[in-house]
Structure 1
Amino acid sequence: MKNVKGLKKMLALALVVTLSGAYSCKEAKKENKEEMKEEVAEEVQAQPFFELSLAQWSMHRMIRNDGLDPYAFAQKAKEWGFTGLEYVSQLYNPELSDANYSEEAMAAFVAKSNAEAQKHGMKNLLIMVDGQGHLAATDEAERNETVEKHKKWVDAAAAMGCHAIRVNLYGSNDPEVWKKSSVDGLTKLATYAKGKNINILVENHGGLSSNGALHAEVMEMTNMDNVGTLPDFGNFCIERSENGCAEMYDKYKGVEELMPHAKAVSAKSNDFDAQGNDTGIDYVRMLQLVKDAGYTGYIGVEYEGSELGEEAGIKATRDLLLKASKEVK
């Protein structure tokens, strides 16, 4: 009997130890799961609310002065940590302009750009179109001619899988005349682009387009789903002078006014301080405006400074965007 009682005690003790061990394992697994959840949450929080693209204009001196092939754009952007491409039409001149933007020349541009983007796993986003006339010209015949010239770029953007082209609204300095001409030019071009599933985006790029309130008013007057803005953090000079800017619009007010219509965003940069901040633009404040508008798309780096070389300036702007994004609420 004593042996039986002793055996029962030993079995009971073994059961307690086993259950205790199982409980400890469960607790350990639970703690590990909680730790993993926290790590994932921290990693997600560390990711910016936007994706990074590169505006080709950041490389214009490399292309124009140093002889870099503009078709190296995708390769360079990939090397520097970007995933999206924002092309600049004028950087493919004189190749395109000498051919008068012929069908053959445009097809070659599209084919080579697509091949490079695919080769490096990059996404074509938009084409910034310059030098194709004034879309807000006061003369209707001139506006119509400008619309026709831009149609080739709409076709190219569609063939490249882009979502948009960026246009300029240069024209009258009279706000009422400018608004009327802008709406007419945009409506005509966007009507054509709608059939190609392409957006027509207006950047604040000088003249009255850099007046955020007027620019936003043009968007509301045009009232088309495929017409929007491309707010640039720094292009808010309405009128230039020999010494720089004669009339400057408040950049933060302007970005806030343009963001409700934004389908792309451009992070302009120039010079940096010792902490890596842009000396003229508060990036945390700008990104807060962008996030508050509900924007989660691509933000394009557009370095225009002269103190740093273009590659260094591009990387500094990229790093500033990532750093500033962590301080946004």
Structure 2
Amino acid sequence: MTLKRRTFLKKSMTYGVGMGALGSLSPLLSNGKAMAAPFFKISLAQWSLHKTLFNKKLDNLDFAAKTKKDFGISAVEYVNQFFKDKAKDKSYLGEMKKRAADNGVESVLIMVDGEGHLGSTDDSKRKQAVENHYKWVEAAKFLGCHSIRVNAAGQGSAEEVANAAVDGLGSLAEFAKDFNINVIVENHGGYSSNGAWLSGVISKVNLPTCGTLPDFGNFCISRKAGKCVDEYDRYKGTVELMPFAKGVSAKTHDFDENGNEIHTDFTKMLNIVKKAGYTGYIGVEYEGSKMSEDEGIMATKKLLEKVGKSL
């Protein structure tokens, strides 16, 4: 081979490697600017698939595998309704844990419902509700979660329920700290959807293991005939809850032709989350009806990635 030929081949290979490197970087470029990775991680809230699960088209044990294989998401948020009689079944929980690990999926938290009102103004009922949650704290620890999501519900005046919730949440958080599990409260209707009320409750509990799970779309305080008649400002509420956040829920229902959620300005909301210094998981929670659950999950994930990379 001649010297000229060798020189030509060497230059061609160098050019090819250079172009290959540029090609691998090209997805990170937009309008000539590097696109940073989102400041948060993405998880999938199991409630996004509640219709599929309730219709027995998906088994709870297959949730982690579907999350990874169908959506490319590597973290899950369980809902206790889908394994409500298994909280103390170590064999079943062990299989959940194994399947998550086999698929490279992290178990983030368990959303707990149906175990009584932690803000009940009846002392005995509140105490029973606290104790009903113990098994879910233990299950969360076994699965490798960092938190259980609970509700701060109760009957009475705002002040009465707040005082009861401070006691109930405080008692449960004291129990949970020995398991290194957080007790986090979602804005989930009633007084809890008032950001000032809930942030006030968490402030009074004043324990590092008690925090919040701000949900972008759950700020309806009261409904009549299925319609919200008293809605708290979602952006104001999120600002109030973020200082205590140990998780965030990206609630979606409907999207426009550009893939933006029509009820929540995700750029505005994620700016609030970022400004609070939060870098943990944001859970995809699709509750719409115009798309299939799978489509809604992917639309929510894409929106989070798009907006997250732009901030």
Q: TM-score, normalised by structure 2?
A: 0.88
Identity %: 49
**1:83 aligned residue (45, 50, 74):** 74
C-alpha contact 2:45 2:78 (8 A) present in aligned 1: yes
**1:161 aligned residue (119, 144, 149):** 144
| Structure 1 residue 91, shift from structure 2 partner | 1.6
CA distance in 1, matches of 2:87, 2:49: 25
| Structure 1 residue 326, shift from structure 2 partner | 2.8
| Structure 1 residue 173, shift from structure 2 partner | 4.5
Partner secondary structure for residue 133 of structure 2: helix
1:27-38 aligned within 5 A: none
Match of residue 12 from structure 2? none
Segments of structure 1 that go 5 or more residues without pairing to the other structure are: 1-31
Partner secondary structure for residue 52 of structure 1: strand
**2:120 aligned residue (137, 141, 151):** 137
Q: In the TM superposition, what whole-angstrom CA distance separates every residue of 1:216-269 from its partner, at most 9, and x where no partner exists?
A: 000110000000000000000001110411100000000010000000000000
Q: In the TM superposition, what whole-angstrom CA distance separates every residue of 1:154-199 from its partner, at most 9, and x where no partner exists?
A: 0000111110000011102411101100000011101110000000
Asked if residue 245 in structure 1 is aligned to residue 243 in structure 2, the reply is no
1:5-20 aligned within 5 A: none
CA distance in 2, matches of 1:88, 1:102: 11
1:186-201 aligned within 5 A: 186-201=169-184
CA distance in 2, matches of 1:327, 1:305: 25
Quick one: which amino acid aligns to residue 160 of structure 2?
Answer: V
**1:124 aligned residue (103, 107, 131):** 107
CA distance in 1, matches of 2:305, 2:267: 10
C-alpha contact 2:87 2:136 (8 A) present in aligned 1: no
Asked if residue 206 in structure 1 is aligned to residue 189 in structure 2, the reply is yes
Partner secondary structure for residue 109 of structure 1: helix
CA distance in 2, matches of 1:242, 1:117: 40
Q: More deviation in 57-66 or 156-165?
A: 57-66
C-alpha contact 1:135 1:171 (8 A) present in aligned 2: yes
| Structure 1 residue 45, shift from structure 2 partner | 4.3
Match of residue 28 from structure 1? none
Q: In the TM superposition, what whole-angstrom CA distance separates every residue of 1:278-313 from its partner, at most 9, and x where no partner exists?
A: 110100100000000000000000000000000000
Q: Count how many residue pairs are aligned between Structure 1 and Structure 2.
A: 285
CA distance in 1, matches of 2:105, 2:98: 10
1:1-329 aligned within 5 A: 45-79=35-69, 80-93=71-84, 96=85, 103=88, 106-328=89-311
C-alpha contact 1:265 1:299 (8 A) present in aligned 2: yes
Quick one: which amino acid aligns to residue 165 of structure 1?
Answer: I
Segments of structure 2 that go 5 or more residues without pairing to the other structure are: 1-17
Q: More deviation in 42-51 or 254-263?
A: 42-51
C-alpha contact 1:173 1:208 (8 A) present in aligned 2: no
**Structural RMSD (CA):** 1.9
Q: In the TM superposition, what whole-angstrom CA distance separates every residue of 1:132-173 from its partner, at most 9, and x where no partner exists?
A: 111111101001101111000000001111100000111024
Partner secondary structure for residue 229 of structure 2: strand
C-alpha contact 2:121 2:156 (8 A) present in aligned 1: no
Q: TM-score, normalised by structure 1?
A: 0.83
CA distance in 1, matches of 2:107, 2:226: 37
Quick one: which amino acid aligns to residue 282 of structure 1?
Answer: D
CA distance in 2, matches of 1:102, 1:111: 11
Partner secondary structure for residue 157 of structure 1: helix
Partner secondary structure for residue 174 of structure 2: helix
- Structure showing greater Rg: 1
CA distance in 1, matches of 2:162, 2:91: 36
CA distance in 2, matches of 1:146, 1:212: 23
